[in-house]
Amino acid sequence: MLRSDIAESELIAQCKTGNLKYQEILYTKFYGFAMGVSLRYSMNREDALEAVNDAFIKIFKNFKDYDTGKPFKAWLSTFVINTSIDKRRRELKYQLNIDLGEAVMVLSSSDTVGNLEAQDILNLLKLLPLIQTTVFNLYEIDGYSHEEIGKMLGIAASSSRVYLTRAKEKLRKLLLIRTDNERRSAR
């Protein structure tokens, strides 16, 4: 039986050779991380699990292309994000029927969103339309540019900006509603 405390570099080197036992260890070691990423782009746990499994299959098929000079988690994260988005793309394209080329961006203070705790944001994100959640995650959490997001989702960069602005505005409104409800229940 193989040890699960193998150095990451040795684990990756063995996976590059196609060793199934080491691939299983790698999967087990990075499963939680991959699920955390996928859950931000999936509607439910089952979709996230399917995307994670598909991403690992792609990773194992493409291990020869992995540059060991770069962080493995970043490479893994790219596969998980892209696979999760590909899985959701069918639903997204039905939500992208609106032409946002002429949309006006809503400008307001970012203090409200800036003061949220990470878990609060993640909980509130579940209440937003899928496209807004996806753009918010890609831009604010994963650091993609609007141009990159546009290419990934098949939308214009300006549409990505509008979706992000709308997501932040809805988050502010949801936070105000939640804060109001908390004040009322405290009375």
85 with 148: CB under 8 angstroms? no
Domain shared by 84 and 101, yes or no = no
Domain shared by 8 and 70, yes or no = yes
User: In terms of residue numbers, what domain contains 127?
Assistant: 96-187
Q: So what's the pLDDT on residue 25?
A: 94
121 with 40: CB under 8 angstroms? no
> What φ, ψ does residue 164 adopt, rounded to 5°?
-65, -45
Rounded to whole angstroms, the Cα distance separating 50 from 83 reads 9
Residues 6+ apart with CB under 8 A from 136: 125, 128, 163, 164, 167, 168, 171
pLDDT tens track for 24-48: 999 999 999 999 999 988 878 898 9
Domain shared by 63 and 124, yes or no = no
Residue 104 pLDDT greater than 50, yes or no: no
- Comparing 18-22, 68-72, 95-99, the range with the smallest average pLDDT is 95-99
Instruction: Look at residues 50, 35, 40 and name the one whose alpha carbon lies nearest to residue 134.
Output: 40
Confidence of residue 102 (pLDDT cuts 50, 70, 90): very low
For the chain, what is the domain count? 2
Domain shared by 119 and 48, yes or no = no
Domain shared by 30 and 55, yes or no = yes
Give the domain CATH number at 147: 1.10.10.10
Domain final residue pick, 43, 61, 88: 88
Domain shared by 159 and 79, yes or no = no
pTM for the structure as a whole? 0.65
Domain shared by 63 and 44, yes or no = yes
Residue 95 pLDDT greater than 70, yes or no: no
Domain shared by 79 and 156, yes or no = no
CB burial of residue 112 (10 Å; 0-12, 13-18, 19+): middle
Rounded to whole angstroms, the Cα distance separating 154 from 161 reads 14
Domain shared by 129 and 176, yes or no = yes
Domain final residue pick, 34, 65, 88: 88
Q: So what's the pLDDT on residue 125?
A: 83
Domain shared by 175 and 144, yes or no = yes
Rounded to whole angstroms, the Cα distance separating 55 from 40 reads 15
Instruction: Look at residues 103, 119, 87 and name the one whose alpha carbon lies nearest to residue 161.
Output: 103
